[in-house]
A and B are shown apart, each in its own frame.
Chain A
């Protein structure tokens, strides 16, 4: 925030950021609850606020709030410009809101760019670290490349649209065959959005970037930014190409299957937990792609639930990971004895990511599969997704096993654990327990969240 110019105390920035975020969440919930907004700004119908978008924005903001509360003190450790980091995160959040509410391709383009550009800076924020630099450059080149593709896609969509406007609803002309230019535009948009959500043929930047970026920002990138990309994806495809769904459904099905397969299979072989989480985020993206494949009511509920479950679990896991010094799986050996609270909450997060019943992860995966079954086409995808979820259990359980059933090898990791025990405060532990409870509550009563979609 710009408050950083005046405030010298680093912790102050964090509190200011948290306060600002709380106010925004409150206003957002008020609008969701009463249907009346605080300011009525005439956006010329360029933004749409229905309950789906608002619920999603609330989820994204609450996740950011939890991210600030858990990892705020770690952001302060990355570098000297703490207030700028918070400001950049707020810019990204603003971009996520635009991407969630856009009604024209112009706002979509601007929203995606507002998400991306601050992220390039955040990725490279560890200026002395070569890995961080490389990650930033790679992310930047790939991101700008996909921007070019997206702009080309928008140009073709505009050219093919007989009404000559950027409103996505006017693209949704009706059944029948698509004009050539719309079809080209659709493929370009599909490629660009796949880049942004790291679906498989275009995923190769993800592990390197997530690995190279400072771990706090990886946590942010892997969760809020990713679900922001998905919301833009589903809104674009539902509102502008929804009527020609049969023509592109097979394409999405293939991308989904490839994403699930490659993400899960490569995650199995990773030694570093941070890198493994990067691959697992690709695998989870595969599940979220099922919602774009199905594109019905259950898919929308599922996406909201998935966004919440996945973000909460991943933010929690990364917060624990940051406290470790050794990012390999061996680094987790014996954590169950030294830090039982951390280990138990990490187990809940991992179980949720795997999709074990009683956790939110199970419910969200269930909704996604239900949406795909209801859709009725390409049923092989559902079976394939379940098989891939089974593969994912292997690498998630490897960490649980390391935490509880392996002894610490004294020469390497004792130092690491000492460090971990010194740094966790009771509020940190309390928050972790709170997230774990939240995940279980969402797993038992998913309608607490999904009912909001039908509130208005």
Chain B
């Protein structure tokens, strides 16, 4: 399959994520959309790694594996972010009994 299919797929996922972050109001769903963005990028990385290995794999043997290792790193980072983020959301819920991001506007005044 040409790499363009993957680019379109991950661009679509990424756009869904961005739109979700911008319009949804529940902090948890916003957070899920962010994860979607991260995973879209991961998918793209793996697709590109396959593309590079077909194109220049013979001369640059590390070209393909680099991105796949990168994906592992980004998954670990995402996991760390989830643990911190959910803790913050729980903290917020304990204080205001809601995870609505519209509550955040209170800080402005």
Contact = CB atoms under 8 A, between A and B. Distances in A.
Interface of A: 105-106, 109-110, 113, 117, 120-121, 124, 127-128, 130-131, 133-138, 140-141, 144-145, 147-149, 151-152, 154-156, 158-159, 162-166, 208, 211-212
Contacts of A136: 88, 91-92
Contact of A148 (B17, B85, B107): B17
B81 A165 contact: no
A141 B107 contact: no
Contacts of B69: 106
Given A106-B73, A130-B95, A145-B37, A155 B44 contact: yes
Contacts of B17: 148
Given A133-B88, A141-B21, A211-B107, A165 B45 contact: no
B80 interface: yes
Contact of B80 (A117, A124, A145): A117
Contact of A159 (B42, B51, B56, B92): B51
Most buried by A among B10, B47, B70: B70
Contact of B41 (A137, A138, A148, A166): A148
Contacts of B44: 152, 155-156, 159
A9 B68 CA distance: 46
Interface in B1-16: 3, 7, 10, 14
27 contacts: A109-B73, A113-B77, A130-B96, A133-B91, A133-B95, A134-B103, A136-B88, A137-B89, A137-B92, A138-B107, A140-B88, A144-B34, A145-B21, A145-B37, A148-B37, A151-B37, A151-B42, A151-B74, A152-B40, A154-B45, A154-B70, A158-B67, A159-B3, A159-B51, A164-B63, A164-B66, A208-B107
Contacts of A208: 104, 107-108
A151 B38 CA distance: 7
A163 B85 contact: no
A151 B39 CA distance: 9
A382 to B, nearest CB: 34
A99 B21 CA distance: 27
A110 to B, nearest CB: 6
A455 B69 CA distance: 37
A74 to B, nearest CB: 22
A159 B7 CA distance: 10
Interface residues of B, number: 51
Interface in B49-98: 49, 51-52, 55-56, 60, 62-64, 66-67, 69-70, 73-74, 77, 80-81, 84-85, 88-89, 91-92, 95-96
A163 B63 contact: yes
A155 B7 CA distance: 10
The secondary-structure label for the interface of chain A is helix
Given A133-B88, A144-B31, A158 B107 contact: no
Nearest to A162: B56
Interface of B: 3, 7, 10, 14, 17, 21, 27, 30-31, 34, 37-38, 40-42, 44-45, 47-49, 51-52, 55-56, 60, 62-64, 66-67, 69-70, 73-74, 77, 80-81, 84-85, 88-89, 91-92, 95-96, 101, 103-104, 106-108
B48 to A, nearest CB: 4
B107 A212 contact: yes
B41 to A, nearest CB: 4
Nearest to A113: B77
B104 A154 contact: no
A162 to B, nearest CB: 8
Given A109-B73, A117-B77, A151-B37, 19 more contacts: A106-B66, A109-B77, A113-B77, A121-B84, A130-B95, A133-B91, A135-B107, A137-B101, A140-B88, A141-B27, A141-B30, A141-B31, A141-B85, A152-B37, A155-B48, A159-B44, A163-B63, A165-B60, A166-B70
- Closest 3 pairs between A and B when the two form their complex, measured CB to CB: A164-B63, A148-B37, A164-B52
A166 B91 CA distance: 38
A163 B60 contact: yes
A99 to B, nearest CB: 14
Nearest to B69: A106
Contact of A131 (B30, B45, B63, B107): B107
B92 to A, nearest CB: 5
Contact of A158 (B37, B48, B55, B106): B48
B48 A159 contact: yes
Contact of A151 (B3, B41, B60, B107): B41
A149 B37 contact: yes
B15 to A, nearest CB: 11
A145 B3 CA distance: 26
Most buried by A among B27, B48, B80: B48
Contacts of B104: 134, 137-138, 208
